[in-house]
């Protein structure tokens, strides 16, 4: 009896909202690093055609197709961060340890905190558990370990504060 093996990888279907969150993190990262204007970054991400990559010349670059993302959520997160950055940053900073302020946090981690923090504080229509799960899952594309635990802990602490209000 011969056993058939399937060598094709199962592709995970990613929801439009998850793609919007990933796009928002990538856009916030670009805004932080390159100082790209909000409207330019939104136009670049919303009107992009097909997959994009961090480094198109590198075969190992992470290919991301954001064409099916929830553009309304994507724009809301970016506009919301810009309009509420001080409040979001303060909520995050309050949950970080004294020796690890926002300024010391890795740029990608800071982008994740800000996008998730905005949703936690300003999107009462999305349950905190969903936001935490989405951003912790998203973080595994960038980190493997301490950072994902840190994201989970900070967002959980913010959620507890919100529920107490």
29-15-160 Cα angle (round to 5): 65
* Selected residue with higher pLDDT from 57 and 130: 130
Distance CA 82, CA 79 (A): 5
In the predicted structure, residue 44 carries a pLDDT above the cut 50: yes
Percentage of residues in the chain with pLDDT exceeding 70? 81
The pLDDT of residue 60 is: 52
The pLDDT of residue 105 is: 87
Distance CA 115, CA 117 (A): 5
Mean pLDDT (whole number) for 136-154: 90
In the predicted structure, residue 58 carries a pLDDT above the cut 80: no
In the predicted structure, residue 1 carries a pLDDT above the cut 90: no
Rounded to two decimals, the pTM is 0.83
Mean pLDDT (whole number) for 70-78: 97
Q: Which of 121, 123, 100, 110 is nearest to 151 (CA)?
A: 110
Sorted by where each begins, the domain ranges of the chain are 16-164
Distance CA 133, CA 4 (A): 36
Q: Which option is the CATH number for 16-164: 1.10.3720.10, 3.40.50.300, 1.10.940.10, 3.40.50.150?
A: 1.10.940.10
Both tokens of residue 161? 């504060």
């Amino acid at each position: 009896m011969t056993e058939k093996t399937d060598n094709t990888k199962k592709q995970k279907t990613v929801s439009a909202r998850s793609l919007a969150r990933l796009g928002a993190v990538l856009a916030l990262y670009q805004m932080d690093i390159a100082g790209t204007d909000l409207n330019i970054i939104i136009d670049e991400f919303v009107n992009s055609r097909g997959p994009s990559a961090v480094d198109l010349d590198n075969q190992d670059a992470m290919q991301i197709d954001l064409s099916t993302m929830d553009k309304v959520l994507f724009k809301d997160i970016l506009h919301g961060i810009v309009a509420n950055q001080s409040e979001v940053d303060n909520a995050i900073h309050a949950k970080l340890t004294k020796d690890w302020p926002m300024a010391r946090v890795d740029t990608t981690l800071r982008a994740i905190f800000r996008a998730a923090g905005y949703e936690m504080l300003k999107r009462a229509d999305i349950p905190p558990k969903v936001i935490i799960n989405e951003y912790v899952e998203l973080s595994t594309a960038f980190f493997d370990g301490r950072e994902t635990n840190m994201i989970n802990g900070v967002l959980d602490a913010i959620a507890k504060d919100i529920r107490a209000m």
